Structure 1
Amino acid sequence: MRTRFLLLILLFFVAFTCDIAFGSVNLSLKDVWSSLTGSGGDDLYREIIINYRLPKALTAILTGAALSVAGVLMQTLFRNPLAGPDVLGVTSGASLGVALLTLGASSLPWFVIAGWGQVTAAVLGAVGVLLLIIIVSVKVPQTISLLIIGMMFGNFAGAIVSILQSTSNPDTLKLFISWTFGSLSAVSWDYMSIMAPIIIVGTLLAFIMQKKLNVLLLGEKYATGLGVSVSRTRLWIILATALLAGTSTAFTGPIAFIGVTIPHIARGIFHTSDHKMIIPASILCGSGIMLVCDLISQMPGSQGTLPINSVTALFGAPIIIWIIAKNGGMGK
């Protein structure tokens, strides 16, 4: 187990270094080291690394870790291998918030709609859905019912977004569509100072709940028999997931498949469902794979970029198909 963790850490640092070194302008390891340590080097290269590539790489790490841990929490709560961080409708709420701002308030100045405006709208949308989910979870004891209600919230938010899209002007529609593609490069150091602490808090909550998450794998009745408050644990899981998925979506836009696929990769590597292993393994795998996806999206050596959401979908969709095929269908 230790060897596998060390290998994951090594691969993570390789991916991190490559993500900083390669892009439209390829840099040498010496340039990267000089810029990161402040030991001389070209001023232009230092500007590229410190103010563009480094925050983008850190955003990839935070987003990959957040979505992966949120996926672990949701798959444990619902005991469903295809559950992801978006099943509670929190990410749909964030999308609805951005849609209401960009599509429903198109008369506002451009600087209000873009930047912090989008982030604030996404946070408010995610928090709104979170509050609704918490209220419902108190009144609805069945976990499967909570899953269905979360999906309905998502569908309701999606319907409103579709109506807004059909009635908006082309300029604001283009702005919203660009946001839905996902972007790691939009997070500046100012954004990072807010994004990072929230994701760290959500991740710490997941680590604190490790033992209770392991008990939940045995079933709610068994967990209750062992003295675990299922309703209270469920609330903490919902809160942690909302912090992780809602924050990452607010700052980077919706990024698909990472939250669903990474937990399976972690379980496949370590052959266990013990959350003491799966949570840190998912953090390493999710962060590393997001760095690789970011590197691919930059298409090193060219001036073009690909939407990060498309790259993660190309990576994640085959794994989802493999999971369903391996289980012999959704019913098994």
Structure 2
Amino acid sequence: MNNQKRNTILFSFLFLGLIVLFFVNISFGSITIPFKEVYNSLTGGYSSKSTWEYIIINYRLPKAITAVLVGMGLSISGLLMQTLFRNPLAGPYVLGLSSGASLGVAFVILGASVLPSFLSDLLLSPYGIVLASTLGSTSVLLLVLLVSQRLRDTMAILIVGLMFGSFTSAVVGVLTYFSSAEQLQKFTFWSMGNLGNLSWPSILILTICVLLGLFLSLLSIKPLNALLLGENYAKSMGLNFNKARLIIILATSILAGSITAYAGPIAFIGLAVPHIAKLVFQTSNHTVLFWSTLLFGAAIMLVCDVVSQMPGMEITLPINAITSILGAPVVIWLLVRKRSFK
């Protein structure tokens, strides 16, 4: 069987699996809703219970769409970073964007008590927290980009991102030390990640941000393939390396920054999913890896969300904990095998 036919079959199964998982995600929860009812509610048909239709349209459908967007965005961010830095352990959070978002939210939640009451209420609203998170991510992005203009080595930028992440995490640690128990609880819940708190207008904004980031990523497929053999080879092929690097970093920042703002910092998806796609499709061609990583990211995020919902039970586990349980073994596997990035 040739590679093209094999890839077509794999993509077909992956796409069908994603559709099934989307329905499973909507069906399962504290109350299990039959697949037929889910289908009827989504297609405008008759639902036997109005409460089920209300739950699906107002709670579970937005959460499922958010899971798909988060999975696609974070996984593509990881693919971009791993190729740019030629490092299998690179990911969107290595640039410090997640820590920057956490710092913005920490300033709002943990520092709100020192602000006037009207300003405190404004910032503690959902839109205020999203704004703070976005500004935190953007600030770190601008600092990394500013430093990157003076550095030619991509590994040096990787280290700079780690240092910015360490610095912002230290500031968050200081803020938490001087915060009340109520403030710490709010910040802790945000830091665990949550896919189910977005309204339809918020999902629209997140969708626009993710589509913009994915469009920039799609434009970077040829540069990414050229970078597989190194920066010097890519330049010898006529690649404008500085421009390509800027677009890749910008795409990663838009994806990771907007997702962190709306869903909280979600770990390991960006790191683990690209390796799963490479393992299944057995290729380093980014034309194939882009779409396979996209589909795998959405599917795995839907699975993680179903697990976090604990179907049939009233409790909900933090989504960040579930993704870490999935991603940590992948990191250990990478370290044990010590495979060089191709």
Q: Name the TM tier (shorter chain).
A: over 0.9
Match of 1:21 in 2: 27
* TM-score normalised over the length of structure 2: 0.94
Q: TM-score by structure 1 length?
A: 0.97
State the one-letter code of the partner of 1:29: F
TM superposition shift of 1:106: 2.7
Q: Among residues 98, 103, 109, which one is paired with 2:110 in the alignment?
A: 103
In the alignment, which residue of structure 1 is the partner of 2:243?
A: 232
Aligned counterparts, 1:155-194, within 5 A: 155-194=166-205
Is 2:323 aligned against 1:294?
no
Q: Is 1:139 the counterpart of 2:150 in the alignment? A: yes
3-state SS of 2:95 partner:
coil
Structure-2 separation of matches of 1:110 and 1:37: 39
Question: Which residue number in structure 2 is paired with residue 195 of structure 1?
Answer: 206
Match of 2:338 in 1: 327
Q: Deviation string for 1:83-133 (max 9, x for gaps)? A: 111011111111110001111223544563141111010001111111111
Alignment counterpart, residue 75 of structure 1, candidates 79, 82, 107: 82
Q: How far is the alpha carbon of 1:331 from its aligned partner?
A: 11
**In the alignment, which of 299, 323, 326 is matched to residue 312 of structure 1?**
323
Q: Is the 8 A contact 2:88 2:341 kept in 1?
A: no
Following superposition, the deviation at residue 136 of structure 1 comes to 1.1
- Identity rate, percent: 47
What CA distance in whole angstroms lies between the structure 2 residues aligned with 1:179 and 1:290? Answer: 18
Cα distance, 1:219–1:331 mapped onto 2, change above 3 Å = closer
Cα contact 1:76–1:216 (8 A) shared by 2:
yes
1:161-194 Cα offsets, whole Å, 9 max, x none, are 0000000111111100100000000111121111
Question: Which residue of 284, 297, 305 maps to 1:273?
Answer: 284
Counterpart mapping for 1:59-70 below 5 A: 59-70=66-77
Q: Which residue matches 1:218? A: 229
Residues 261-320 of structure 1: CA distance to partner in whole angstroms, max 9, x if unpaired? 000000001100111011110110010000000000000001100000000011111111
The question of whether the paired residues in 2 share the 8 Å contact of 1:256 and 1:313 is answered with yes
Residue 14 of structure 1 and its aligned partner are, at CA, apart by 1.3
Partner Cα separation in structure 2 for residue 331 and residue 264 of structure 1: 10
2:62 paired residue number: 55
Moved runs in structure 1, 4+ residues, more than 6 A? none
RMSD (Å), alpha carbons:
1.5
* Counterpart Cα distance in 2 of 1:317 and 1:186: 26
Provide the secondary structure at the position in 2 that maps to 1:280: helix
> What one-letter code is carried by the residue in structure 1 that aligns with 2:31?
V
Contact 1:23–1:299 (8 Å) recurs in 2: yes
Could you report, residue by residue, the CA deviation over 1:19-76 in whole angstroms, capped at 9, with x for unpaired residues?
A: 0001001011111011111112122111100110000000000000000000000000
Return 5+ residue gaps in structure 1 as ranges. none
| Range that drifts further, 186-195 or 68-77 | 186-195
The answer (yes or no) to whether the contact 2:308–2:319 under 8 Å persists in 1 is yes
Residue in 2 that maps onto 1:259: 270
| Whole-Å separation in 1 of the counterparts to 2:239 and 2:258 | 28
Deviates more, 1:104-113 or 1:76-85: 104-113
8 Å contact kept, 2:67–2:301: yes
Return 28-37 or 259-268, whichever deviates more.
28-37
Instruction: Provide the rounded CA distance (Å) in 2 between the counterparts of 1:326 and 1:285.
Output: 22
Deviations 1:193-250 (A, max 9, x none): 1100110010111111101100011100011111101111111111000001011100
The 8 Å contact of residues 137 and 235 in structure 1, kept in 2 or not, is answered as no
Three-state SS of the structure 2 residue aligned to 1:272 is coil
Residue segments in structure 2 that go unaligned for 5+ positions in a row:
1-6
Check if 1:206 corresponds to 2:212. no
Bigger mean CA offset, 109-118 vs 53-62: 109-118
